[in-house]
Chain A
Amino acid sequence: MTTSPVQRIVGAVWHHRLFWPVVALIVLLLACQINSPGFLSIDVRNGALFGQPIDILRTAATPLLLALGMALVIATAGIDLSVGAVMAISLAVSLTYLQGSASAGEVPTVMAAVALGIGVALLCGMFNGFLVSVLGIQPFIATMILMVAGRGIAMLITQAQITTVTSAPFKFIGSGSVFGLPTPVVIAAVVFVIVAVIVRRTALGMMLESIGINREASRLAGVNSRGITWFAYALAGVLAGLAGIVYGAPTMAADANNIGLMKEMDAIMCVVLGGTLLSGGKFYLSGTVIGALILTTIERAVIIFHLPSQITPLFKAIVIIAVCIAQSPELRTWLHKAGGRMRTKTPPSAPSTTASTSSADDPRKEVAVS
């Protein structure tokens, strides 16, 4: 109880669940800056911001969109493996519609194409949600169906061709800029705010967590776990559809075999890096944003360091393992004990007060860490 305010702030920062992910992000960015001076500089060209950091933000938009939906699904103690395939489906639908349309360059046509793509993605999400919440199939298996079959569906839509279209408004979704920021960044930011508001300003977030933590107790408390779980999968589908369009818009080519390949793993990674446990329950949207930024920065760092692209996965794995180890509750307890022992050695009159005070002040935070 005798800790100074400074100590308390330091303690709060140190114990914050985003401490290690943010440290990892900063370290990565600094390493890039040292290796390639000017990496962090941003300049304005033609009224738009340019530079590596902006590029990282642009690239992070796709995994972030996927990961926001994934976070809600994971909160219910589920998983959605189909998001990569759903990306391919929605892009294929949008581009095929544009290809068949006489006015592919007009804004209303593009809006219709996007709506159609996202609509089909919604259906995919509803299908997943139906399998999981109504039929009670394990989420891993249920969503694996679309993960595997989804690409086949996308191939059917594009008739096994790589559908290419020329449409300035569509391209704008992926490579234009709004208020000086790349369109994908603006889209991702808007979606983040919308999801955050839906989840935290209604009771949805609490109920998602409640279902993920203790499904039976939630059922007994009258929580509509079927409807809420279904909603999470549907939303994950919609966001995956949007991600597919944002991802494919710059090239305007729907390659059903490769769009969104392995992106579901990236999305899961972002969620986990952000401090959400795969076992469900508490989830963190802001942490997910940091996760998406770390993931994208790693990919960029591989290029900056002139590492052969084949070892990108290895490099990714190393950073992720490091962050996960740093977040491990066992390690933290162990470090805490070790630290406490060292502290008690020097001033024997001051036992490890930090642990007890921080937990008494804010038990939520303490638990989020441990």
Chain B
Amino acid sequence: MSHPSGHAPVVEMTGITIEFPGVKALDSVSFRLFPGEVHALMGENGAGKSTLIKALTGVYQIAAGTVNIDGKAVRITGTDAAQKAGISTVYQEVNLCGNLSVAENIMLGHEPRFGPFISWRALKAQAATFLARLHLDIDPSSKLSEHSIAVQQLCAIARSTVVQAKVLILDEPTSSLQQAEVDELFAVIRELRDQGVAILFVSHFLDQIYEISDRITVLRNGSFIGEYMVSDLPRLQLIEKMIGRSGAELEKIDKTSERRDPQQDATPIYQAAGLGKFGKVENVDITVHPGEIVGLAGLLGSGRTETARLMAGVDRPEHGETSLRGKPTPINDPKTALKNNIVYSSEDRKKEGIIGDLTVRENIALALQSLRGVWRPIPKAELDTIVERYLTALRIYPANPNMLIRNLSGGNQQKVLLARWLATQPELLILDEPTRGIDIGAKADIQRLVVEQAREGMGFVFISSEFEEVLRVSDRVLIFKDRVITDDLDNAEHTLTSTDILHAIAALTDAKPRDAAQPATHATVTKEHNA
């Protein structure tokens, strides 16, 4: 859907800079929004998408730059100012009141009054008209929490139309919806678009972006990368722009890791069939052999972390069978996983990794101690040996076991956590973004360690947003997209390139998340794994 030149944008943000103490969250970003158009804001996590939205909705104050609405310069001082300017936002999490009725939620803050009193009859009638506009056939006096998340999401949109929004911001509205509900939502979005509303749409699902949007703005690391018409921007290019490297550039990686010999014919350490949890991942089949490093690649929210969490029992799987060394063993909590020699290193180091106020020594001991039980403390000499070994082997700095872990740098915290998991002598170590936010030296140390341990027979699942890194260590790469595994690429000879992964992710899948039992086939993607 193109626009006649001269069609004025309803929102025009120019040179927007937002600073947090010590960081520039947005650096001179420009953004335009045209009436009657769905505009997707794309970028990786931390690219500045939500910051930009919050600048527009008045949550953050703008340090530099101008915002024009309908051609007039405005200063958005707060969320109410944004609403007055006709900007409505529906956030990722439904933030309505579940214990109030649908009508009350829709009309909240705009209740028709009779003197000082609320006119309930008028309120219900008005709410009904807003619902009807979205073809939502529900009783306005029913309680909101009785309805599905999708309907609640639509109610939130109905609420945003009460203020006659010129601009509707939808931040990840589909993340908790099933395919049929997504279709329903998209029908509503198209209708609003045709009524002339400018819609800003944020989603991690590429297929959805290409289905609904007309225009795409890409951000990366707080900077503006470009604005494109969807028709001019193939998926591959979009991904390249989001992660900031061209496929050719990505190929220039050193293939330092030596050929190892994963014991493909041995009994798998871990085998799962149909593993899944509603709203997280669907029907994941995954097998890890001794000495094998299985890489999980995909965009954020594609299901790679969710899969790792199910494998390690951090989240309880709702369906699927797991067997360990050929023996069926359900893994429903981290303790069971630990007892069965499976450990998971979370991507969220701070919240789910370190125990900040404990020492490095205690942090290393924690999982091993849990394994042995509270009443059987690890003998001091034994623990000293373990701690000493890992401080040296992982080059943890400072090598002071009595230091509080929170005083270490991120990279060293990560190494201490690796030491914690390795000390339990696991058979399967699941690493979720083990090198995120750490310096290059620590990164190399960790990659080296993974390869070394694999050579000794430990199985690995390796997740990273950096494809080079996944390729450098993995023997096999599973491609995740929209909560399912869409491909399984062989990398035993380290012949895969980042371009292959990009292609695999960008490949159009017919499979919808709900019914993707069999992996999709693509002409573009090269090797099929033959194990």
A interface residues (Cβ-Cβ under 8 A, vs B): 201-204, 206-207, 209-210, 213-214, 216-224, 227-228, 281-282, 362-364, 367
From the candidates A209, A214, A228, A362, name the one contacting B374 in the complex (CB within 8 A). A228
> Smallest Cβ distance from B235 to chain A, in angstroms?
35
In the bound assembly, the distance between CA atoms of A202 and B346 in angstroms comes to 27
Is A221 a contact of B366 with CB atoms below 8 Å? yes
Say yes or no for B121: interface residue by CB 8 A criterion.
no
From the candidates A206, A227, A362, A363, name the one contacting B369 in the complex (CB within 8 A). A206
Q: Kindly supply a per-residue 1/0 record for chain B positions 364-375, scoring 1 wherever the CB is within 8 Å of any chain A CB and 0 otherwise.
A: 011101111111
Known A206-B365, A364-B359, A367-B404; contact A214-B370, beta-carbon cutoff 8 A:
no
Is B371 a contact of A222 with CB atoms below 8 Å? yes
By a CB distance below 8 angstroms, the chain B residues around A363 are 400, 402-404, 407
Interface centre among A213, A221, A363, A367 (most CB of B within 10 A): A221
Is B352 a contact of A217 with CB atoms below 8 Å? yes
Is A222 a contact of B334 with CB atoms below 8 Å? yes
In the bound assembly, the distance between CA atoms of A214 and B375 in angstroms comes to 21
Can you list 13 A-B pairs with a CB-CB distance of less than 8 A? A202-B376, A203-B365, A203-B373, A206-B358, A209-B358, A210-B362, A213-B357, A220-B314, A220-B346, A222-B335, A223-B370, A363-B404, A367-B404
Is B402 a contact of A214 with CB atoms below 8 Å? no
Number of B residues with CB within 8 Å of any CB on chain A = 38
Is A206 a contact of B356 with CB atoms below 8 Å? no
Known A220-B334, A221-B334, A364-B404; contact A214-B362, beta-carbon cutoff 8 A:
no
By a CB distance below 8 angstroms, the chain A residues around B358 are 206, 209-210, 213
In the bound assembly, the distance between CA atoms of A345 and B367 in angstroms comes to 50
Is B334 a contact of A213 with CB atoms below 8 Å? no
Instruction: Tell me the nearest residue of chain B to A280, going by C-beta.
Output: B357
> Smallest Cβ distance from B378 to chain A, in angstroms?
8
In the bound assembly, the distance between CA atoms of A363 and B361 in angstroms comes to 13
In the bound assembly, the distance between CA atoms of A367 and B360 in angstroms comes to 14
In the bound assembly, the distance between CA atoms of A213 and B352 in angstroms comes to 11
> Smallest Cβ distance from A230 to chain B, in angstroms?
12
> Smallest Cβ distance from B267 to chain A, in angstroms?
24
By a CB distance below 8 angstroms, the chain A residues around B339 are 222
Is B356 a contact of A203 with CB atoms below 8 Å? no
Say yes or no for B351: interface residue by CB 8 A criterion.
yes
By a CB distance below 8 angstroms, the chain B residues around A281 are 357
> Smallest Cβ distance from A363 to chain B, in angstroms?
5
By a CB distance below 8 angstroms, the chain A residues around B334 are 219-222
Is A203 a contact of B357 with CB atoms below 8 Å? no
Known A220-B344, A224-B374; contact A210-B335, beta-carbon cutoff 8 A:
no
Instruction: Tell me the nearest residue of chain B to A223, going by C-beta.
Output: B370
B interface residues (Cβ-Cβ under 8 A, vs A): 314, 333-335, 337-339, 344, 346, 351-359, 362, 365-367, 369-378, 400, 402-404, 407, 420
Known A202-B375, A210-B355, A210-B358; contact A223-B404, beta-carbon cutoff 8 A:
no
Known A363-B402, A363-B407, A367-B407; contact A202-B344, beta-carbon cutoff 8 A:
no
Is A218 a contact of B366 with CB atoms below 8 Å? yes
> Smallest Cβ distance from A239 to chain B, in angstroms?
19
In the bound assembly, the distance between CA atoms of A210 and B334 in angstroms comes to 16
In the bound assembly, the distance between CA atoms of A282 and B357 in angstroms comes to 7
By a CB distance below 8 angstroms, the chain B residues around A362 are 402
In the bound assembly, the distance between CA atoms of A367 and B372 in angstroms comes to 29
Is A210 a contact of B377 with CB atoms below 8 Å? no
In the bound assembly, the distance between CA atoms of A206 and B362 in angstroms comes to 7
User: In the complex, given contacts A209-B357, A223-B366, A364-B403, what are 16 additional A-B residue pairs having Cβ atoms less than 8 angstroms apart?
Assistant: A203-B369, A203-B376, A203-B377, A206-B362, A206-B369, A207-B366, A217-B346, A217-B355, A220-B352, A221-B334, A221-B367, A222-B337, A222-B371, A363-B403, A363-B407, A364-B404
Is B354 a contact of A214 with CB atoms below 8 Å? yes
Closest 8 CB pairs of A and B: A222-B338, A222-B370, A221-B367, A221-B366, A203-B369, A222-B335, A203-B377, A363-B403
In the bound assembly, the distance between CA atoms of A201 and B377 in angstroms comes to 7
In the bound assembly, the distance between CA atoms of A203 and B379 in angstroms comes to 10
> Smallest Cβ distance from B380 to chain A, in angstroms?
10
By a CB distance below 8 angstroms, the chain B residues around A216 are 351-352
Instruction: Tell me the nearest residue of chain A to B359, going by C-beta.
Output: A364
By a CB distance below 8 angstroms, the chain B residues around A214 are 351, 354-356
> Smallest Cβ distance from A364 to chain B, in angstroms?
6
> Smallest Cβ distance from A177 to chain B, in angstroms?
35
Instruction: Tell me the nearest residue of chain A to B400, going by C-beta.
Output: A363
By a CB distance below 8 angstroms, the chain B residues around A221 are 334, 338, 366-367, 370, 420
In the bound assembly, the distance between CA atoms of A281 and B355 in angstroms comes to 10
In the bound assembly, the distance between CA atoms of A214 and B334 in angstroms comes to 15
> Smallest Cβ distance from B145 to chain A, in angstroms?
21
Interface centre among B337, B354, B377 (most CB of A within 10 A): B377
By a CB distance below 8 angstroms, the chain A residues around B366 are 206-207, 210, 218, 221, 223
> Smallest Cβ distance from B368 to chain A, in angstroms?
9
From the candidates A202, A222, A228, name the one contacting B377 in the complex (CB within 8 A). A202
By a CB distance below 8 angstroms, the chain A residues around B376 are 202-203
In the bound assembly, the distance between CA atoms of A206 and B380 in angstroms comes to 14
